[in-house]
Chain A
Amino acid sequence: MKTLQIDVGKCDYGRDCAHECEAACASKVFKCDDPSRAALRIRLLENGEGRAILCDQCGDCVIVCPADALSRNKQGVVLLNKKTCVACYTCVGFCEKHAFERNPEWLLPYKCIACGICVKACPKAALEIAEAPTPAPRII
């Protein structure tokens, strides 16, 4: 399956960049100017460490969705069917990586679709879309 992956040695967590990845995701994927709407989050913590919150397409959300609104496409990427989604946010609460997002303005939740827009935007070339084995469905 396709997943967004990060090279933590290259990413500087905003020390010397303008979070171009988040800005590109927000503007090109979600058509808004607010980078906090992005489907990935790169944070510099107070203790100086960096944290990247990325969807690894593990598929836990597919199993817990009560509306059967989430499924893998041919590339193994988990996609949300906006028509079927009922905005219960089980996916948001059950995502261990906190990578399934929601915000107060939008009813429907959203996630990374491994489109690669952020990869192209990253000035440090720290992001890539890589192939990874599709994990077996888990009992959650």
Chain B
Amino acid sequence: MGNPYAGLTDYLAFHRAETNYRYRTENHFDVAKLRAAHRLIKETAFTPSLPERGYCYRGLYINIDTLEVKEQPVTQEMKDIFIGGRGFGLWQLWHAVKPSTRWNDPENEIVISPGPMSGITQYPGSGKSIVVSISPQTDIPIDSNVGGYFGPLLKFSGYDFLEIQGKSKTEILIFIDGEKGTISIEECPLEPLDSHILAELLTDMYAESEEDRVNISVVSAGSAADHSLIGMLNFSWFDKRRGCIRLKQAGRGGIGTVFRDKRLKAIVIRRPGVKGDLNRPADFETIAKTGVKLHRELRSLDPSQCVMRRNGTAHIVEIMDAYDLLPVMNFQYGSHPETHKVASYIWDMRCTQRTSDGCWYGCSMSCAKGADGLTLRTGPYKGQVVTVDGPEYENVGGLGSNAGIFDAEAVLELNFYCDTYGICTITWGTICAFVMECYQRGVLNLERTGGLDLSWGNWEADLELMHQVARGEGFGLIAGLGVHKMKHIFAERGWGDPGLLEDIGMENKGLEYSQYLSKESLAQQGGYAMTNKGPQHDEAWLIFMDMVNKQLPTFEDKAEALYYFPLWRTWFGLNGWCKLPWNDISPADNHLRHEPHKIPEHVENYLAMHGAMMGNEITVEDMLNQSARVYNFQRVFNIRMGKGLRIHDKAPYRSMGPVSREEYLSREERYDKQIIDEMGLDPTKMTLEERMAAHRAWRTGRYEKLTDAVYKRRSWTPNGVPTYDRLKELGIDFPEVLEVVRPFLIPDHI
């Protein structure tokens, strides 16, 4: 490793910025003129109400084409089977679409649902919303778990979900006033699209006073969502101390693209008077005590554990590098000599400390760090001083190391533009890594990229590519289609070997991989490719358990983990919780507990709070069953939309092993040892090509075996289809569900 203090003086300015984190370029707009251009096209009154034991018992449906606004009942059956959040979203979406529905059909919906636990203020990570839609990238349901204040404010206005269908003919926004009880659909022709401006503008416009700004949350996308399939949604909250809006992202799968295709510019909610008991739980005291316990744990242990409060998830950058798990240059390598330039100590200095950074009240884990005082060097906002949210680990890995970029300021600028343009940082990171490797290998060149030199580490070209997406021009239009489509475009144009493109294109089901190098973690390979929505680590982030903590040593352990953890993690999305406070902090005596990797005391916390909200008691088995209903339902939903089978859980070889000679040679000692230990062969008697072929056979073979074991544990057929017995056992054997799986079930499984 080089000198970790090299270039440190560059950061002295940011210590100064800490004392003035309110300093940024102000964007001045004639708000009166913008507002005057609004045309109210629909206004509906509703009766605001508070939830009872976490539920409002109604959802809000808005068709932005027909302007129909109606309330949808939340029935006991919905509650029992789908719980809320992602479950409600999938259930509403199921009824809205047909097997032939694609992302840009009017019947496709965006459903935002906060979940019954969302909005409690006492336990860290309890303000989440889950957004569900048919993805432009995968053509199956995508679910994205997002912070920001929108979900809780929606629920405290009186709705368990917001369901938007149809396509508007003009640019519109929806405004929900949860105090006055009005839902307005307004044409809004003049507002700019980019989120850091739009969310601030609309917060000011719809707040009734300066103090009222904390009661506003805005959902918006950005100009790049208009010209790509990888658009994402920003959910805002007003940061009182900084005096500006902050953004959290529903990033994966292109929901922002759906949003903009519907010509939605924003959804604004206002709901004053947030207090800690608005969910009206059956037993507030249990939730309060559990919350205080975790606050104390974070206070005493976070500084010696994950340091989330100072660095957010970026605390693991150097850990990943040390374990050869950091994605470098399109997942070719797992570490890099320059990682120290984007390591956590940089973010510790670069993020403003001494302030509160939770994306919902009471989140004392506070990982939503803010890097203030960034002067932009490129693009339409060049020269402006801005606040950047994050960067999180995924952004450092994706926008940084995976593109060979080890310049912290460049990572921040990439992060800023991804957010404001409304594109997913993880997706963009893997897209750029792919096109840069294509450039390295001659699949792309200056002519094919329209003059962009996409060499590793060229952050200016990376940013220009992103600006092209936002402007809807040049090679950016191709990059914005995502890795899956690019692979086929490049192959069809004869630019590269289709086999190589399949190997190095890090996508599954059409979604780009998130930022962990899974070659040496079989469990994570499955954790990525055997997901419902595509390779996103929020379903099964097993790499740390597997590779760092060595908690999954056997094949059976890995298969069991791929049963338990996707269900456990699904539960967060059903309830409106964030999973980070589950295992990014551990009780001091966690290592003494049985199955410490499950963080048993924290599981007990969640079960206790869930019971306290509902007025009942649930066990781990109950929890797993709740999740399994939705998880299996989503699998069937995938099958209904044309995916969801074994072939769709196939992983690109880059995620499993060394594709290229240089990859092999860079870790030759490790790979040769595996040939001896795992395959019983003698590498000294094999050519490099033979050794690489032996690895490919071994690695793909064990992945297939893992697939068999995981499917069996999940009670799926070898083709990945939930069996009739399993669907019946879970109580989701509805006729329309059975109709989907019937053609795929051989008689033995019916």
**Interaction A to B:** yes
Min CB–CB distance A27 → chain B (angstroms) = 24
Say whether B643 faces chain A, with CB atoms less than 8 Å apart. no
Which residue of chain B has the shortest Cβ distance to A96 in the bound complex? B299
Residues of A within 8 A of B240 (CB): 67-68
Contact B276–A107 (Cβ < 8 Å): yes
> Which of A86, A137, A139 lies in contact with B276, CB distance below 8 A?
A86
Q: B299 near A94 (CB under 8 angstroms)? A: yes
Are A139 and B288 in contact (CB-based, < 8 A)?
no
Q: Which of B269-296 contact A (CB under 8 A)?
A: 274-277, 285, 288, 291-296
CB within 8 Å for A87 and B354 given contacts A93-B295, A94-B364: no
Question: Contact at A67–B361, with CB atoms within 8 Å?
Answer: yes
- Interface membership of A140, Cβ < 8 A: yes
Q: Is B309 an interface residue (CB 8 A)?
A: yes
Which of A93, A107, A137 meets B293, CB within 8 Å? A93
Q: Are A66 and B122 in contact, with the CB atoms below 8 A? A: no
Residues of A within 8 A of B294 (CB): 93
User: Does residue B262 face the partner (Cβ distance < 8 Å to A)?
Assistant: no
CB distance from A94 to the nearest CB of B (A): 5
B361–A89 CB distance below 8 A: no
Bound-state CA distance A96–B296 (Å) is 8
B246 to chain A, nearest CB (A): 12
Selected from A65, A89, A137, the residue in CB contact (under 8 A) with B288 is: A89
Bound Cα distance A97, B599 (Å) = 27
Chain A nearest Cβ from B337, distance in angstroms? 30
Residues of A60-89 at the interface with B, using a CB-CB cut-off of 8 Å, are 63-68, 86-89
Residues of A within 8 A of B288 (CB): 89, 102, 104
A64 near B364: Cβ-Cβ < 8 Å: yes
Q: Tell me, yes or no, whether B298 is within 8 Å of chain A by CB.
A: yes
A63 CB contact (under 8 Å) in B121, B295, B354 = B354
Assembly CA distance A4 to B112 (angstroms): 49
B356 contacts A89, C-beta separation under 8 Å:
no
CA gap between A107 and B274 in the complex, in Å:
12
Confirm or deny: B355 has a beta carbon within 8 angstroms of a beta carbon on chain A.
yes
A63 to B366 CA separation, bound complex (whole angstroms): 12
What is the distance, in angstroms, from B389's C-beta to the closest C-beta of chain A? 16
Q: Which residue of A lies closest to B309 (CB)?
A: A140
Residues of B within 8 A of A102 (CB): 288, 292
The residue from B298, B355, B361 contacting A88, defined by CB atoms under 8 A apart: B361
Residues of A near B298 (CB, < 8 A) are 93-94
Contacts A66-B361, A102-B288 hold; do A107 and B275 have CB atoms under 8 A apart?
yes
Q: B291 touches which one: A63, A93, A104 (CB < 8 A)?
A: A93
**A68 & B241 in contact (Cβ 8 Å cutoff):** yes
Within 8 A of B (CB), among A92-140: 92-94, 96, 102, 104, 107, 137-140
Give the residue name and chain of the A residue nearest to B285 (CB): A104
**A33 to B448 alpha-carbon distance, docked (Å):** 80
Question: Is B158 part of the binding interface, using a Cβ–Cβ cutoff of 8 Å?
Answer: no
Known: A87-B277, A93-B298, A104-B285. A137 touches B291 (CB 8 A): no
Residue pair A89, B363 in contact (C-beta under 8 Å): no
B335 to chain A, nearest CB (A): 29
Whether B136 sits at the interface, judged by CB under 8 Å, is no
Please tell me if A36 contacts chain B, counting CB pairs below 8 Å. Answer: no
0/1 interface trace, chain B 337-379, chain A, CB 8 Å (1 if under):
0000000000000000111101001111000000000000000
The contact of B299 among A86, A87, A104, A140, by CB within 8 Å, is A140
CA distance A65 to B276 in the complex (A): 14
Q: Which residues of A have CB within 8 Å of B310?
A: 139
A89 with B354: CB separation less than 8 A? no
Query: Which of A88, A94, A140 neighbours the largest number of chain B CB atoms within 10 Å of its CB?
Result: A88
Chain A residue numbers with a CB within 8 Å of B121 are: 86-88
Chain B 185-215, CB-CB to A under 8 Å as 1, else 0, gives 0000000000000000000000000000010
Instruction: Determine how close the nearest CB of chain B comes to the CB of A7; give it in whole angstroms.
Output: 29
Contacting A at CB under 8 A, from B304-359, are 309-310, 353-356, 358
Q: Which of B277, B293, B358 contacts A66 (CB 8 A)?
A: B358
- Which residue on chain A has the smallest CB distance to residue B294? A93
B646 CB to nearest chain A CB (Å)? 46
Chain A residue with the shortest CB-CB distance to B278: A86
Given A68-B241, A107-B277, CB of A88 within 8 Å of CB of B362: yes
Checking A86, A104, A138, A140 against B361 with a beta-carbon cut-off of 8 angstroms, the contacting residue is A86
Which residues of A are found within 8 Å of B355, using beta-carbon distances? 63
Find the A residue at minimum CB distance from B237: A66
| A86 vs chain B, min Cβ distance (A) | 5
Assuming A66-B356, A86-B362, is B276 touching A92 (CB within 8 A)?
no
Distance between B225 CB and nearest chain A CB, rounded to angstroms: 29
Which residues of B are found within 8 Å of A87, using beta-carbon distances? 121-122, 275-277
- The reply to whether B122 and A88 form a contact with Cβ atoms under 8 Å apart is yes
In the complex, the answer to whether A89 meets B275 with C-beta atoms within 8 Å is no
Question: In the docked arrangement, what's the CA distance between A63 and B353, Å?
Answer: 10
Specify the chain B residue showing the minimal Cβ separation from A91.
B295
List chain A residues, Cβ under 8 A from B292. 89, 92-93, 102
Judge whether A94 and B353 touch: CB under 8 Å.
Answer: no
Write the nearest CB–CB distance from B226 to chain A, whole angstroms. 34
Instruction: Give min CB distance, A95 to chain B, whole Å.
Output: 8
Chain A residues closer than 8 Å to B354, beta-carbon distance? 63, 137-139
Once bound together, how far apart are the Cα atoms of A34 and B392, in whole Å? Answer: 47
Residue pairs across A and B with Cβ atoms less than 8 A apart, 29 shown, are A63-B355, A63-B356, A64-B356, A64-B364, A67-B214, A67-B240, A68-B356, A86-B121, A86-B274, A86-B276, A86-B361, A86-B362, A87-B275, A88-B122, A89-B288, A89-B295, A89-B362, A90-B362, A90-B364, A92-B295, A93-B292, A93-B299, A93-B364, A94-B299, A94-B364, A102-B292, A107-B275, A107-B277, A139-B353
Closest 6 CB pairs of A and B: A93-B295, A87-B276, A88-B362, A88-B121, A139-B353, A68-B240
Give A residues with C-beta under 8 Å from B.
63-68, 86-90, 92-94, 96, 102, 104, 107, 137-140
- 11 other contacts beyond A88-B291, A90-B362, A93-B296, with CB at 8 A cut-off? A63-B354, A63-B356, A66-B362, A66-B363, A86-B275, A89-B288, A89-B295, A89-B362, A93-B291, A93-B298, A107-B275
